[in-house]
Amino acid sequence: MTIVSAAQAGDAAARRIIGFSPDGKYFAFEQYGELDAAVSGWSQIDIIDTSTDEFVGGKPILVLDESEEATTTVEQARAQAAKQAAPILAKYGIAERGTRTASDRFTFPDDTVEYNDISRLEQAAQKWLSPFYGETQISTIQLDEILADSKTDCSASFDDAKPSDQALPSDKTLQGEKKLQGAKTGKARGFRLSLQGQDGKPFKVLHEDKAVPGSRNCPTSYSLSESYEYTPPGRPAVVAVLVQRFSQGFEGRDRRFIAVTGHAR
Alpha-helix runs per DSSP H in the chain = 74-92, 115-123, 155-159, 163-166
Do the domain assignments include residue 94?
A: yes
Is pLDDT of 106 > 70?
Answer: yes
Please give the span between the terminal C-alpha atoms of the chain, in angstroms, as a whole number.
39
Total domains in the fold of the chain = 1
Do the domain assignments include residue 4?
A: no
Neighbours of 99 (CB within 10 A): 12
CA-CA distance, 72 to 74, in Å (whole number)? 7
User: What are the φ/ψ torsions at residue 190 (nearest 5 degrees)?
Assistant: -115, -165
What pLDDT is attached to residue 162?
Answer: 57
pTM as predicted: 0.86
Do the domain assignments include residue 80?
A: yes
Is pLDDT of 3 > 70?
Answer: no
For residue range 141-176, what is the model confidence (pLDDT) as tens digits? 999 999 999 999 998 888 765 544 443 333 334 444
Domain region containing 75: 11-263
Do the domain assignments include residue 111?
A: yes
Do the domain assignments include residue 2?
A: no
Average pLDDT in the 202-219 region?
95
